[in-house]
Amino acid sequence: MDSQKPMVLENLDYYYNMFLNLLKFIGALFTVMKVLEMCNYMIRIKEEITKMNETVKEKIDILGERHETLKEKIDILGERHEALKERITTGFELTNANFRLLNEKWSFFKENVESKFGISKEKYE
């Protein structure tokens, strides 16, 4: 019986070591599964970031187009502003010329009235 005892102990040691190796293998598999899961998660994050970058690039392009449109509109408004300034300046010049002409006509009219009707300036001034 003594000879069988060490054999049983050796078998127990063997099966115990096999059990430990199986646990280590299962732990390694679990670790590999978690690492693969993390890699998959990082790949999904990278894809989301890529989509966000594409969206941002599209929005930047749209803003660039709007910027160009606004620049064109500002140029048009600048041209209209210059044209309006020119019209106002011309209008003031015409108004001043009209007032000078009106004063000349008024002076001519007063002189004619005075000479025809004999009215002196002192009476109506």
**Residue 1 pLDDT > 50:** no
Residue that wins the pLDDT comparison between 27 and 105 = 27
The pLDDT of residue 101 is 84
Domain that holds residue 20: 4-124
DSSP the chain: -TTHHHHHHHHHHHHHHHHHHHHHHHHHHHHHHHHHHHHHHHHHHHHHHHHHHHHHHHHHHHHHHHHHHHHHHHHHHHHHHHHHHHHHHHHHHHHHHHHHHHHHHHHHHHHHHHHHH---HHHH-
The pLDDT of residue 2 is 54
Helix/strand/coil (H, E, C) string of 40-53? HHHHHHHHHHHHHH
- Distance CA(113)–CA(120), nearest Å, equals 9
**What's the domain count of the chain?**
1
The pLDDT of residue 4 is 65
pLDDT tens-digit series, residues 49-105: 999 999 999 999 999 999 999 999 999 999 999 998 888 888 778 788 888 888 888
